[in-house]
Amino acid sequence: MSSNIRSVRGFSDTLPPITATWQALEARLRRILDVYGYQEIRLPQVEKTELFSRSIGEVTDIVEKEMYTFEDRNGDSLTLRPEGTAGCVRACLEHGLLHNQQPRLWYAGAMFRHERPQKGRLRQFHQIGAEVFGLTGPDIDAEMILMTARMLAAIGLDDVELQINSLGTPAARQAYREALVAHLSGYSEQLDADSQRRLQTNPLRILDSKIPETQALLNDAPTLDEYLDQESRDHFAELRRRLDAVGQAYVVNPRLVRGLDYYGRTVFEWVTHRLGAQGTVCAGGRYDGVVEQLGGRPTPAIGFAMGLERLVALIEDNEGLVNTPQADVYLVLLGDAAELEGLRLAEKLRSDLPELRLLMHCGGGSFKSQFKRADRSGARLALVLADQELADGTVGLKDLREGGEQQAHPVDAVVHVLARQLGLTTHSED
């Protein structure tokens, strides 16, 4: 006997009924993006490897050790996208979307990172993200953050904390980097191995370390805000003034640096305490240098991405956004003649009641076994067609949840009976 093929580690299936939660979640997030004037952009899942090394940064976790990189049959080095921003910038440049325009764009889809799989951390995961180009002021930063607040509220999450910080200009970060290295060099043996390496390559990333001993060593390290340039200070103060003006709560976290090199000035995260070390459900910030780095004219930009698996996990804790049964009505059919008449009835109902969620029994079987399936489907009502109903020109209707006797309705009345009971609009009333 051959063994079953299993899915690849870190690549998971999403099964019904949780797929209904995903659909509701995505629909609500999309709705908020739409009302804020963001338009969808669809991007490929595979890009040239160089796109990511040039934008995300050579010495980041993603580029150093998390990318799914392979040679295709032509020998080109390609990579499954680990995030959406680089591809979005590439597409905007390729199609001239940044000329005299300030596009507000969103995307959704699968991302790929070769990380150690655990709760809230997969190798294929899904993000909804947004990017805005061509705007440099704190006005768009504030509006974008408030939009993410509304997105999280739309899916019922009210216990996530907004953290913000400013990373300043590249010069400010350079000055800070030197101070941080000078401080941490005194403790280098006490740092974890990754952080020791980063001390040479990318010291700011040490602030982002998830290792408690390393975090403890950072307690009396210098902080970035002491090194910020005046313009970045003003920009950040203006952002805060705007968030204060609309009553948006936030925490300034001076250690918030983000794992990607391309950020500067405003960075923000939405964090929950309910998912352990995988607590960030939304992360974003300014990346004013990236467009130029990828060959475009200097263009300010800001964006964010939400991790959908983490959002779904939080919603599951909250008993879900939706509790949709498989159907509202189950059609029970006994006998050959009833099957044929039932198919006709089903098609007529689907035309007259376009929103009706009707599950027609297939595969025959006794009343008893059909009612068992009807029950399992979660449907509220059963329609019944058998010899008796065919002879009388009626259809049986039974309430599966409230109980009670089955009632006979003339075939022609069924549309209106269902419309009334389920609160549906008939096609002719549209």
Pick one of 49, 278, 293, 421: the residue that binds ligand ATP (CB under 6 A).
278
- Total number of residues that touch ligand ATP (CB under 6 A): 17
Distance CA 242, CA 263 (A): 21
Q: Are 415 and 352 in contact (CB under 8 A)?
A: yes
- Closest approach, Cβ 165 to ligand ATP, in A, equals 14
The total number of residues written for the chain in this structure: 430
Q: Which single residue brings its beta carbon nearest to ligand ATP? A: 307
List, in sequence order, every residue forming a beta bridge with 252; answer none if it has no partner: 164
Among 96-104, 117-125, 190-198, 405-413, the segment contacting ligand ATP (CB under 6 A): 117-125
The verdict on 160 binding ligand ATP (CB under 6 A) reads: no
Among 114-122, 361-369, 374-382, 401-409, the segment contacting ligand ATP (CB under 6 A): 114-122
- Closest approach, Cβ 11 to ligand ATP, in A, equals 11
The two tokens of residue 25 are 């979640």
The verdict on 261 binding ligand ATP (CB under 6 A) reads: no
Among 221-229, 278-286, 336-344, 372-380, the segment contacting ligand ATP (CB under 6 A): 278-286
- Closest approach, Cβ 135 to ligand ATP, in A, equals 21
The verdict on 288 binding ligand ATP (CB under 6 A) reads: no
Q: In what order do the strands lie in the sheet with 251-252?
A: 39-40, 104-112, 124-133, 301-307, 280-286, 264-271, 161-166, 251-252
Helix and strand numbers (H, E) in the chain are: 15, 16
Give the footprint of ligand ATP on residues 61-90 (CB under 6 A).
83
- Closest approach, Cβ 283 to ligand ATP, in A, equals 4
CA 40 to chain centre: 14
Distance CA 344, CA 111 (A): 45
Cis amide bond preceding 17, omega within 30 = yes
What is the amino acid identity at position 72?
D
What are the start-end ranges of the E strands in 56-155?
A: 68-71, 77-80, 104-112, 124-133
Q: Are 13 and 54 in contact (CB under 8 A)?
A: no
Distance CA 418, CA 402 (A): 16
Q: Are 381 and 374 in contact (CB under 8 A)?
A: no
List, in sequence order, every residue forming a beta bridge with 251; answer none if it has no partner: 163
The verdict on 127 binding ligand ATP (CB under 6 A) reads: yes
Q: Which is nearer to ligand ATP, 9 or 416 (CB)?
A: 9
- Closest approach, Cβ 86 to ligand ATP, in A, equals 11
The verdict on 281 binding ligand ATP (CB under 6 A) reads: yes
x-or-dash pattern for ligand ATP, window 305-344, by CB under 6 A?
x-x-xx----------------------------------
| CA atoms 60, 61, 62, 68: torsion sign | positive
- Closest approach, Cβ 304 to ligand ATP, in A, equals 8
Pick one of 172, 243, 283, 301: the residue that binds ligand ATP (CB under 6 A).
283
Site residues (CB under 6 A) for ligand ATP? 83, 113, 115, 120-122, 125, 127, 259, 278, 280-281, 283, 305, 307, 309-310
